[in-house]
Amino acid sequence: MERISSAFGNLLQYFELGGFVMPPLAIGTLILWYALGLRWQLLDRGNSRSCRVLVERYSKGYKRRPRGLIDTATVWGLVLRERYAQHSLRDVLDDAFGDFDADLGRGKVIIKVIVSTAPLAGLLGTVIGMIETFDSLGDMALFTQSGGIAGGISQALFTTQMGLVVAVPGIVVGRILDRKERAFRTELEQLKNMLCGEPSHLVMPSGIASQGG
């Protein structure tokens, strides 16, 4: 219990040293990692097999419940292929896959905004801390109630550190997720092309259709 209390006290002191910039950075950190977690969950392929293999397996009566984005898109695409004529299928698939496209981009804007603004917020704290430092030098006040030179330098360093701590992991994980998004968009296009151009003998059994409906 004492360790928890000590850790909480150190964290509170860390926030106090950073000044008013620290609470927004902390809130931004929580929102950032929530958005990253949500995006990671949405960008779940569901199956390691290629789109062509998935189309063939579900067409031949594969009964496993679809999991993940590509897996679900394959089953739903096969349902639509059975319901609509070949000449109108492409337009139907474009409209139906719009939900999948929306899921691919969900949370992306929030991540980019926080990653972009966190270093700027840290820089703002740095500037404020340096202003306090130079004010202390100008007044020859090495020890003031707000911390003087030491307090100003501490605030400058802590806010810079916090801004980088928020931004750098967000950039790395965000780039990984963006790469997955691009790969998924390519696979969805390939899936639509296969569904529109597959041979007629690959017809989805009625059992799959009933599950998709």
Question: In the structure, what pLDDT confidence band is assigned to residue 202 with cuts at 50, 70 and 90?
Answer: very low
Tell me: the pLDDT tens digits for 153-193? 666 677 888 888 889 999 999 999 999 999 999 999 888 88
Residue 18: predicted pLDDT: 63
Query: In whole angstroms, how far apart are CA 26 and each of 20, 23, 54, 86, 167?
Result: 11, 5, 43, 53, 12
Question: In the structure, what pLDDT confidence band is assigned to residue 152 with cuts at 50, 70 and 90?
Answer: low
Asked if residue 77 has pLDDT above 70, the reply is yes
Mean pLDDT across the chain, nearest whole number?
77
Residue 1: predicted pLDDT: 62
Asked if residue 134 has pLDDT above 80, the reply is no
Residue 109: predicted pLDDT: 92
- Rounded to whole angstroms, the Cα distance separating 199 from 52 reads 12
Residue 95: predicted pLDDT: 87
83 vs 7, residue with greater confidence: 83
